[in-house]
Amino acid sequence: METIVSAPIATSPSAVKRVTKSLAELRHSLTVPELSDHVLFFNRVPKSGSEMLVLLLQWLQGKNGFRHVRLGGSNVRKLNRIQQEELVEEVTQRVRDEAVPVSFDRHVYFVNFTQFDRQSPTFINLVRDPIDKAASRFYYARATPNPRNPDIVGAPPFKAKKFKSKDFEECVRTEDPECIFKTGQSYDLTIPYFCGHQDYCTVLNDQRSLDAAKENVERYFLVVGVLEELNATLTLLEHKLPYYFKGVQHMYYNELKEPHRNKNKKHSNSVTRETRKHLEKVLDTEYEFYYWLRARVLRQHNELFAR
Give pTM, 2 decimals: 0.84
The alpha carbon of residue 248 and the mean position of all alpha carbons in its chain are separated, in whole angstroms, by: 18
Question: Per-residue confidence of the chain (307 residues) as pLDDT tens digits?
Answer: 344 434 444 444 443 344 455 655 555 555 768 999 899 999 999 999 999 999 999 999 999 999 999 999 999 999 999 999 999 999 999 999 998 899 999 999 999 999 999 999 999 999 999 999 999 988 888 776 554 445 445 544 555 556 566 789 989 998 888 899 999 999 999 999 999 999 999 999 999 999 999 999 999 999 999 999 999 999 999 999 999 999 999 999 998 875 555 554 444 457 899 999 999 999 999 999 999 999 999 999 999 988 6
The DSSP secondary structure of 114-156, one letter per residue, reads GGGTBPEEEEEEEE--HHHHHHHHHHHHTTSSS---TTBTTPP
User: Cα 227–131–177 angle (5° rounding)?
Assistant: 145
**Distance of alpha carbon 307 from alpha carbon 300, whole angstroms:** 11
Across the chain, how many H-helices and E-strands are there?
Answer: 12, 5
